[in-house]
Protein backbone atom coordinates (compact mmCIF):
# COMPACT_ATOMS: atom_id res chain seq x y z
CA UNK A 1 0.00 0.00 0.00
CA UNK A 2 2.73 2.59 0.73
CA UNK A 3 4.17 2.08 -2.77
CA UNK A 4 0.83 2.83 -4.42
CA UNK A 5 0.43 5.97 -2.29
CA UNK A 6 3.89 7.12 -3.39
CA UNK A 7 2.99 6.48 -7.02
CA UNK A 8 -0.27 8.38 -6.60
CA UNK A 9 1.59 11.31 -5.03
CA UNK A 10 4.15 11.22 -7.84
CA UNK A 11 1.32 11.21 -10.38
CA UNK A 12 -0.30 14.25 -8.75
CA UNK A 13 3.01 16.08 -8.62
CA UNK A 14 3.73 15.32 -12.27
CA UNK A 15 0.25 16.47 -13.29
CA UNK A 16 0.68 19.71 -11.35
CA UNK A 17 4.05 20.39 -12.95
CA UNK A 18 2.82 19.61 -16.44
CA UNK A 19 -0.28 21.76 -15.96
CA UNK A 20 1.94 24.70 -14.98
CA UNK A 21 4.08 24.20 -18.06
CA UNK A 22 1.05 23.75 -20.26
CA UNK A 23 -0.46 27.09 -19.28
CA UNK A 24 2.83 28.80 -20.03
CA UNK A 25 3.13 27.23 -23.48
CA UNK A 26 -0.52 26.99 -24.46
CA UNK A 27 -0.58 30.37 -26.25
CA UNK A 28 2.29 29.28 -28.47
CA UNK A 29 0.72 25.84 -29.01
CA UNK A 30 -2.67 27.34 -29.87
CA UNK A 31 -1.02 29.83 -32.22
CA UNK A 32 0.90 27.09 -34.02
CA UNK A 33 -2.27 25.00 -34.38
CA UNK A 34 -4.13 28.01 -35.73
CA UNK A 35 -1.55 28.90 -38.41
CA UNK A 36 -1.15 25.27 -39.44
CA UNK A 37 -4.81 25.15 -40.56
CA UNK A 38 -3.81 26.97 -43.74
CA UNK A 39 -6.08 30.01 -43.39
CA UNK A 40 -4.93 33.28 -44.95
CA UNK A 41 -5.87 35.27 -41.82
CA UNK A 42 -6.13 34.46 -38.13
CA UNK A 43 -6.52 36.27 -34.83
CA UNK A 44 -4.16 35.54 -31.97
CA UNK A 45 -5.34 33.03 -29.35
CA UNK A 46 -7.40 34.39 -26.48
CA UNK A 47 -5.40 32.38 -23.95
CA UNK A 48 -2.38 34.46 -22.92
CA UNK A 49 -0.32 35.20 -19.80
CA UNK A 50 -3.14 37.47 -18.59
CA UNK A 51 -6.86 36.89 -18.85
CA UNK A 52 -9.11 38.96 -21.09
CA UNK A 53 -6.23 40.72 -22.81
CA UNK A 54 -7.24 43.60 -25.05
CA UNK A 55 -3.93 44.59 -26.65
CA UNK A 56 -0.59 43.00 -27.43
CA UNK A 57 2.72 44.60 -28.33
CA UNK A 58 5.18 42.49 -30.29
CA UNK A 59 8.72 43.47 -29.32
CA UNK A 60 11.37 42.30 -31.76
CA UNK A 61 15.12 41.90 -31.10
CA UNK A 62 15.98 45.13 -32.92
CA UNK A 63 13.29 47.26 -31.24
CA UNK A 64 14.26 50.47 -29.47
CA UNK A 65 13.12 49.58 -25.95
CA UNK A 66 13.41 53.20 -24.79
CA UNK A 67 10.45 54.15 -27.02
CA UNK A 68 8.03 51.62 -25.53
CA UNK A 69 5.49 53.33 -23.32
CA UNK A 70 3.32 52.30 -20.40
CA UNK A 71 1.81 49.85 -19.70
CA UNK A 72 3.97 47.73 -22.02
CA UNK A 73 7.30 48.96 -20.65
CA UNK A 74 6.54 47.30 -17.30
CA UNK A 75 7.34 43.85 -18.73
CA UNK A 76 10.45 44.73 -20.72
CA UNK A 77 13.80 43.07 -20.08
CA UNK A 78 16.68 45.22 -18.86
CA UNK A 79 17.80 47.19 -21.94
CA UNK A 80 21.35 47.32 -20.56
CA UNK A 81 21.77 43.57 -20.86
CA UNK A 82 23.94 42.43 -23.79
CA UNK A 83 20.97 41.00 -25.68
CA UNK A 84 17.68 42.06 -24.02
CA UNK A 85 15.66 40.14 -26.61
CA UNK A 86 17.69 37.41 -28.32
CA UNK A 87 17.83 37.53 -32.13
CA UNK A 88 15.88 34.29 -32.56
CA UNK A 89 13.00 35.33 -30.31
CA UNK A 90 10.16 37.80 -29.94
CA UNK A 91 8.55 39.19 -26.83
CA UNK A 92 4.77 39.53 -26.71
CA UNK A 93 3.48 41.87 -24.00
CA UNK A 94 -0.24 41.63 -23.29
CA UNK A 95 -2.45 44.05 -21.39
CA UNK A 96 -6.07 44.07 -20.30
CA UNK A 97 -5.93 47.74 -19.33
CA UNK A 98 -4.89 47.17 -15.74
CA UNK A 99 -2.42 44.25 -15.81
CA UNK A 100 0.36 43.23 -18.15
CA UNK A 101 1.95 39.89 -18.83
CA UNK A 102 4.63 38.81 -21.27
CA UNK A 103 5.64 35.75 -23.20
CA UNK A 104 8.93 35.24 -24.99
CA UNK A 105 8.62 32.98 -28.03
CA UNK A 106 11.11 31.56 -30.48
CA UNK A 107 10.74 32.83 -34.04
CA UNK A 108 11.72 29.46 -35.48
CA UNK A 109 8.12 28.27 -36.09
CA UNK A 110 5.99 31.42 -35.95
CA UNK A 111 7.47 34.86 -36.60
CA UNK A 112 5.49 38.00 -35.78
CA UNK A 113 8.49 40.29 -36.40
CA UNK A 114 8.52 40.14 -40.20
CA UNK A 115 6.61 43.42 -40.55
CA UNK A 116 8.51 45.12 -37.71
CA UNK A 117 5.41 46.00 -35.66
CA UNK A 118 5.85 49.05 -33.45
CA UNK A 119 2.33 49.73 -32.21
CA UNK A 120 0.10 47.68 -29.90
CA UNK A 121 -2.46 45.52 -31.68
CA UNK A 122 -5.98 44.85 -30.46
CA UNK A 123 -7.00 41.34 -29.50
CA UNK A 124 -9.31 41.13 -32.51
CA UNK A 125 -6.66 42.31 -35.00
CA UNK A 126 -6.52 39.91 -37.96
CA UNK A 127 -3.03 38.69 -38.93
CA UNK A 128 -2.10 37.51 -42.41
CA UNK A 129 -0.34 34.16 -42.49
CA UNK A 130 2.34 33.21 -45.00
CA UNK A 131 4.12 29.87 -44.89
CA UNK A 132 7.77 30.24 -45.84
CA UNK A 133 8.89 27.64 -48.35
CA UNK A 134 12.53 28.38 -47.45
CA UNK A 135 12.56 27.52 -43.76
CA UNK A 136 9.03 26.34 -42.95
CA UNK A 137 8.23 29.23 -40.61
CA UNK A 138 4.83 30.86 -40.48
CA UNK A 139 5.24 34.59 -41.05
CA UNK A 140 2.54 36.75 -39.49
CA UNK A 141 1.89 40.41 -40.09
CA UNK A 142 -1.06 42.62 -39.17
CA UNK A 143 -3.68 42.45 -41.91
CA UNK A 144 -4.57 45.79 -43.46
CA UNK A 145 -7.94 47.22 -42.54
CA UNK A 146 -10.63 46.28 -45.00
CA UNK A 147 -12.29 49.21 -46.73
CA UNK A 148 -15.96 49.68 -45.98
CA UNK A 149 -15.72 48.18 -42.49
130 strand-pairing partners: 139
Terminal Cα-to-Cα distance of the chain (whole angstroms): 66
Q: Quick check: helix, strand or coil at residue 60?
A: coil
* pLDDT band (50, 70, 90) for residue 69: very high
Average pLDDT over residues 36-52: 94
Is residue 143 within 8 Å of 128, Cβ to Cβ?
Answer: yes
| Mean pLDDT, the chain, whole residue set | 84
Q: What is the pTM of this model?
A: 0.80
- Cis omega (within 30 of 0) for bond into 30: no
Amino acid sequence: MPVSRRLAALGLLTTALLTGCASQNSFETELLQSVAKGQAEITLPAHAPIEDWSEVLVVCPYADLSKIESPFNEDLPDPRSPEPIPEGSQLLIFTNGSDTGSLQMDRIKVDLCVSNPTEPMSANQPWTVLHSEDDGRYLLSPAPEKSGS
